[in-house]
């Protein structure tokens, strides 16, 4: 038996140094707590074991919000990106989503450097094998090597390492992502604490050798000419960008995969865990969408100093010989050589309904959880949860109320509410369609929504806060100028006719002129003689969006007011739902299990009907009157 010894005491200990762990540790340290972050291997800090990118549809919103609150992911990808693109620009601004290809190694190096340079943060390599708790209150952790660290709070951010098992065809072996060591003992410790574990799985495509590819047979996908930074701390970025490439599967590709389905770890029944619906393996695509003649694939560079290319859209658990065979049928990949084969990985995770909205475990005080261990998928979802777990661990130590964003305040609020209130039976992925107030929750206004909140809790520092105040002031000044600046018919009718816009007969403000769909802020420069020459691009864009979508935004704000009314009706944690007459049995069970904080949250629980909510509202009114009578 390993001899144990006391190695130190911290305020917060973070287990895992992936994207959730990094944000959690930095948040805790920056809020003044002595923090320890532990990783099985320090070379895996902020590792990207799957796609070499940050952001994307819905996910870009999360990164912007993490940044607005004082997190690190946006700053780090701005240092390490090799290509930047704004997605969905043909649609409205609510779904515009920034995505950046990363130099994976540089991303890791820059984040590791940031962790090491944080004054209140210690970085250590070691495998945690036990959570030490007494009377359901966490006291610290124990490492395999024997060292014990005590703390006031512990954050689990284990990613896909717990019980990690890799599958490549019929071959399977215990492993963390990318061939790193798994965590094999911590799961037993968590079970002893009463935490129920389940199995999820995810997969990653092969990495192929750039030297063996023919890019002339593919379609080039360059980056945007104008680079939009992820971090609100960066006004503009200039960098030579590296192209990605688009190619497609074909009938021959599909034939080879179909003929070898029995050799797939997933289709042969070897894998127990549930995989992500919105990131299916190539086997799944071929079977589920048999009517499609082809599927698009993006060939993406993994960095500036490597020949490895990532085959986006082709995760698989088929054996390596089959991978070589079907990859070789794809235009541009006929001479392909695999540098790292694709694999599926299965791992332990929790039912996130075991957590409070603060991401603290119900019934286990001072134990928090974040990232893929909570049933989510993706670097961005992990970072968002890590940030919130870090913040709330500190607030818990300080005896303060938890910091909780609701669904009307951010995509982070949607993410955590979905996980904790509804649970998930597959790896959860953020999408813009999950946010019912997405026109208000745009990525371009994340700082206007959240930076003030981050400043009040002590995570946003003075430099970021001053930058936010300055940007907000510039937007307010410019909006006022547009409202008060009028133009006469003889000054702009020629301009209007030239741009297919109806002419005016009396003066009109620039503000009202911008409401016309055929005009935008940039076009008005031709007739706007009072505009400042140095107006920032992001300020101009913000004014343009706010004015053009004013009617829709106002309508959505009214919907948010209605939402807030139900959220404001708080539910006591000691309510005995089983004794409330009129509630259906399923609703009683679900309400007792989830323990919602408000009627609004209760209304989103699967199994709780509108009729149950009506019963709950009547019960609350009865309780209110009863308390009033007692006070009299």
Alpha helices in 418-575 (DSSP H): 446-456, 462-484, 489-498, 510-513, 537-548, 550-567
What proportion of the chain, given as a percentage, has pLDDT over 90?
90
Rounded mean pLDDT, 502-515:
95
Q: What is the pLDDT of residue 278?
A: 65
Together in a domain, 243 and 320: yes
Together in a domain, 315 and 423: yes
Q: Is the model's pLDDT at 631 over the cut of 60?
A: no
Q: Could you tell me if residue 563 is inside a domain? A: no
Single residue among 426, 460, 494 that ends a domain in this structure: 460
Q: Could you tell me if residue 86 is inside a domain? A: yes
Together in a domain, 351 and 309: yes
Q: Could you tell me if residue 285 is inside a domain? A: yes
d(CA 366, CA 564): 29
- Binned at pLDDT 50, 70 and 90, residue 630 comes out as low
Rounded mean pLDDT, 280-307:
93
Token pair 């305040």 is found at: 409
Find the CATH number of the domain harbouring 485.
1.10.10.1800
Find the CATH number of the domain harbouring 604.
1.10.150.570
Single residue among 503, 529, 556 that ends a domain in this structure: 556
Together in a domain, 543 and 400: no
CB atoms within 10 A of CB 573: 10
Together in a domain, 449 and 482: no
Total-model pTM = 0.95
* Closest to 388 measured CA to CA, from 31, 9, 17: 31
Q: Is the model's pLDDT at 623 over the cut of 90?
A: no
HSE-up (13 A, CA, CB side) for residue 146: 5
The domain tally of the chain equals 3
Single residue among 556, 583, 598 that ends a domain in this structure: 556
Average pLDDT, the chain: 94
Q: What is the pLDDT of residue 26?
A: 98
Find the CATH number of the domain harbouring 163.
3.50.50.60
Together in a domain, 423 and 548: no
- Binned at pLDDT 50, 70 and 90, residue 188 comes out as very high
Q: Could you tell me if residue 466 is inside a domain? A: no
Q: What is the pLDDT of residue 267?
A: 75
Together in a domain, 506 and 588: no
| Greatest Cα-to-Cα distance within the chain, rounded to the nearest angstrom | 91
Q: Could you tell me if residue 176 is inside a domain? A: yes
- Compute, in degrees rounded to 10, the torsion defined by CA atoms 491, 492, 497, 499: 140
Q: What is the pLDDT of residue 627?
A: 77
Together in a domain, 121 and 5: yes
Q: Could you tell me if residue 564 is inside a domain? A: no
Together in a domain, 214 and 335: yes
Q: What is the pLDDT of residue 534?
A: 84
Together in a domain, 287 and 324: yes
Q: What is the pLDDT of residue 518?
A: 95
Q: Is the model's pLDDT at 271 over the cut of 80?
A: no
Q: Could you tell me if residue 354 is inside a domain? A: yes
CB atoms within 10 A of CB 291: 5
Contact by Cβ (8 Å): 271, 317: yes
Residue 306 structural domain: 1-460
d(CA 58, CA 115): 27
Summarised one tens digit per residue, pLDDT across range 190-232 is 999 999 999 999 889 999 999 999 999 999 999 999 999 999 9
CA 63 to chain CA centroid, Å, is: 7
Summarised one tens digit per residue, pLDDT across range 408-419 is 999 999 999 999
d(CA 308, CA 301): 6
Together in a domain, 73 and 159: yes
Together in a domain, 394 and 539: no
Q: Could you tell me if residue 350 is inside a domain? A: yes
- Binned at pLDDT 50, 70 and 90, residue 280 comes out as confident
């Amino acid at each position: 038996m390993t001899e144990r010894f006391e190695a130190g005491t911290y305020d917060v200990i973070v287990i895992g140094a992936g994207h959730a762990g990094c944000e959690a540790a930095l948040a805790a340290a920056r809020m003044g707590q002595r923090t320890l972050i532990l990783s099985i291997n320090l070379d895996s800090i902020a590792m990207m074991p799957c796609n070499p990118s940050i952001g994307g549809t819905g996910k870009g919103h999360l990164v912007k919000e993490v940044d607005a609150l004082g997190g690190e992911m946006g700053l780090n990808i701005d240092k390490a990106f090799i290509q930047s693109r704004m997605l969905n620009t043909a649609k409205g601004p609510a779904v515009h989503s920034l995505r950046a290809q990363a130099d994976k190694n540089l991303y890791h190096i820059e984040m590791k450097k940031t962790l090491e340079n944080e004054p209140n943060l210690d970085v250590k390599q070691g495998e945690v094998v036990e959570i030490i708790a007494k009377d359901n209150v966490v006291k610290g952790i124990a490492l395999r090597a024997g060292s014990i660290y005590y703390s006031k709070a512990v954050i689990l951010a284990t990613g896909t390492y717990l019980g990690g098992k890799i599958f490549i065809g019929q071959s399977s072996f215990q492993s963390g992502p990318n061939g790193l060591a798994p965590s094999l003992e911590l799961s037993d410790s968590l079970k002893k604490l009463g935490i129920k574990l389940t199995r999820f799985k995810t997969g990653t495509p092969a990495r192929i050798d750039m030297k063996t590819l023919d890019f002339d047979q593919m379609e080039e996908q360059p980056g945007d000419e104008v680079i939009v930074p992820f971090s609100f701390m960066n006004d503009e970025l200039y960098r030579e960008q590296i192209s990605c490439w688009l190619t497609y599967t074909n009938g021959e590709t599909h034939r080879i995969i179909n003929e070898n389905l029995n050799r797939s770890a997933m289709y042969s029944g070897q894998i127990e865990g549930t995989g992500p619906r919105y990131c299916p393996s190539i086997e799944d695509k071929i079977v589920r969408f048999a009517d499609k003649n082809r599927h698009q694939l993006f060939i993406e560079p993994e960095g500036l100093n490597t020949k490895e290319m990532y085959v986006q859209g082709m995760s698989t658990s088929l054996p390596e010989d089959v991978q070589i065979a079907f990859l070789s049928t794809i235009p541009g990949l006929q001479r392909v050589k695999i540098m790292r084969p694709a694999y599926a990985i299965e791992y332990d995770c929790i039912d996130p309904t075991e957590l409070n909205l603060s991401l603290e475990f119900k019934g286990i005080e001072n134990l928090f959880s974040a990232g893929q261990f909570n049933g989510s998928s993706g670097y961005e979802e992990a970072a968002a949860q890590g940030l919130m777990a870090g913040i709330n661990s500190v607030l818990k130590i300080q005896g303060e109320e938890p910091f909780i964003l609701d669904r009307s305040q951010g995509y982070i609020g949607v993410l955590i509410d979905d996980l904790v209130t509804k649970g998930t039976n597959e790896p959860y992925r953020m999408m813009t369609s999950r946010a019912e107030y997405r026109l208000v929750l745009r990525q371009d206004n994340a700082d206007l929504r959240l930076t003030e909140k981050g400043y009040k809790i002590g995570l946003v520092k003075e430099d970021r806060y001053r930058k936010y105040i300055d940007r907000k002031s510039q937007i307010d000044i410019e909006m006022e100028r547009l409202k008060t600046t009028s133009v006469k018919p003889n000054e702009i009718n020629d301009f209007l006719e030239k741009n297919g816009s109806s002419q005016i007969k009396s003066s009109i403000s620039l503000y009202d002129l911008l409401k016309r769909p055929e005009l935008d802020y940039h076009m008005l420069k031709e007739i706007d003689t009072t505009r400042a020459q140095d107006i920032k691009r992001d300020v101009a864009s913000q004014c343009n969006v706010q004015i053009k979508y004013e009617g829709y935004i106002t309508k959505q704000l009214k919907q948010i007011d209605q939402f807030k009314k139900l959220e404001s009706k708080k539910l006591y944690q000691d309510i005995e739902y089983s004794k409330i007459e009129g509630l259906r049995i399923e609703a009683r069970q679900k309400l007792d299990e989830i323990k919602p904080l408000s009627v609004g949250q209760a209304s989103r629980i699967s199994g709780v009907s509108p009729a149950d909510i009506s019963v709950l509202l009547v019960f609350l009114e009865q309780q209110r009157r009863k308390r009033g009578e007692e006070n009299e």
